[in-house]
Amino acid sequence: MKNVTVTMSEALLQRARVAAARDGKSLSRFVAEAVEDRVGRPLTQREALDQFLSGPSWHVLDDNGRAPTRDHMYDDD
């Protein structure tokens, strides 16, 4: 973990402290989670794979559901 300095108005700081206390969190954790909500978090390897696999499909099968042969794919015609 890295320490950072954040500058904000006294009024905003007071509201953030109250909100953090209401949530049962430290101000540091409250701010970190707020930033994470805004910028997102890194995907796990499984999440990244699921996201990739759920993307647009590649339409390589013909009308009969067969994949092209190697010769057909590299045909120079």
Q: What residues make up the domain containing 59?
A: 10-73
Q: What is the pLDDT of residues 6-43, one digit of tens each?
A: 999 999 999 999 999 999 999 999 999 999 999 988 88
Say which DSSP state 65 is in. Answer: S
Task: Confirm whether 22 is domain-assigned.
Answer: yes
38: in domain: yes
**Confidence (pLDDT) at 77:** 62
Which residues make Cβ contacts (< 8 Å) with residue 68, sequence separation at least 6?
A: 60, 62
Look up residue 55 and give its amino acid: G
The confidence score (pLDDT) of residue 2 equals 92
Task: Check residue 17 and give its pLDDT.
Answer: 98
The predicted structure's pLDDT at residue 12: 98
Counting the structural domains of the chain, the total is 1
Confidence class of residue 57 from pLDDT cuts 50, 70 and 90? confident
State mean pLDDT over 48-59. Answer: 86
